[in-house]
Amino acid sequence: MSSAGRSTKPLSQLINLLGRSLGQIQKAWEPFIVDFAIIATTWILITYTYSWFTRGPELATYFLVPWWLFLIGSVEIAVLWESFGVSLGHTLFRVRLLGADRRPPTLRQAVVYFFGWHISALPLAGLLASPPLHERWSGLRFHPLIVDSIRPRPWYRRSIGIYLMALFVVVSVAAVGVTITFQNLVRLFSDAYRVAPLWRALVNPNLAILKDSFSDLIVTIFMAVMATLFATIIAVPISFFAARNLTQGAIGRTVYTILRGIMSIFRSIEPIVWAIVFLVWVTSAHASFAGVLALWIHSIADLTKLYAERLESIDEGLMEAISATGASRFQVLRYGVVPQIVNPYISFTLYRFDINVRMATVVGLVGAGGIGGRLIAYLSGQRYANAGTVMLLIVVAVWAIDYLSSRLRSKLL
């Protein structure tokens, strides 16, 4: 019997149970976390901007109140919003807080929900109950949003619409106010003459340094080539374990989750930061090697994600058809998967090479080899004409590679 393989082991039952109640807790918290985050962010933005204007940049503060009051306040506002209105979290996850038979909540129910939430959520234990205690007491719970024939209120008359609009205004004011001063703006227009030699060099390069700069440029391009090549070699096999549809079962899922997690952490650290790390690690005597390592790590993370996402969208029908011929797992990969991904993979690799050429210049700026180092040396020595010449070279090289790779990629699609 086929059901023999699905024997009910107590351990797996326990894991299932745990998974289910974790899933429930997650459902109950998702909207709350969104609301809390957005309110806390707004609070910080408002108080920071306000104190920046009233007390000056040096004394600007984030909360205006002790940090614990800030935390409690944000939680309370979020719960109030969720108990008595349709919050941003509700909208985002497409749920509504409704009573039995999808009746809208009465005031009494909302009050019970609000206070019940504190009793059940603060010690956490009340959330483990199914349904969570505050839902049980108030009779309210999340129902999936059903778009029915009733015309929804226009966005500017809903609490979310008003809230988002206010948020937009606050953020704009804060951003402009904190980053730009009037003196800055004046200098932008009046002091342009300082870098005039740089612009002049773009049309009239300094031929004396052209040859040396060119050999630095070659180093930069080689750095990009090395990083892309070795990243591809690593990322191609890894991507198969980072694709959701190809990793099934408990072990597969775990590998998938860990790989995706590591990759997204690696990707969120910019190559320039990696370059600094590796400069310390392998010493700056091997500067371009550190640069290659920095680009390599970042490329692996980026390519793995791009590759894996492509794998997740392959046509499973072909895999089915190949499996149905009696093919083995490797044969299914070779004939059911590979033909669907070869071209996209090449295209992603070229695209990444493109980025790496540009990034190789940037990591050079912190001393990790190549033409970036030369550029930063000229700039800090205020030799703007030479810097302009180097920039001209970079522009031409990046443009040419960009052009070639996009032509190649359009052929591949």
Q: Which residues of the chain form contacts with another protein (CB under 8 A)?
A: 1-4, 315, 317-318, 320-328, 330-331, 334-335, 339-340, 343
Question: How far apart are CB 341 and another protein at their closest, in Å?
Answer: 11
* Residue closer to another protein (CB basis): 194 or 334: 334
Question: How far apart are CB 133 and another protein at their closest, in Å?
Answer: 27
Question: How far apart are CB 142 and another protein at their closest, in Å?
Answer: 19
* Residue closer to another protein (CB basis): 171 or 321: 321
Question: How far apart are CB 82 and another protein at their closest, in Å?
Answer: 28
* Residue closer to another protein (CB basis): 17 or 188: 17
Question: How far apart are CB 325 and another protein at their closest, in Å?
Answer: 5
- Which tokens go with 7? 């024997």
* Residue closer to another protein (CB basis): 66 or 326: 326
Question: How far apart are CB 168 and another protein at their closest, in Å?
Answer: 39
* Residue closer to another protein (CB basis): 4 or 59: 4
* Residue closer to another protein (CB basis): 170 or 318: 318
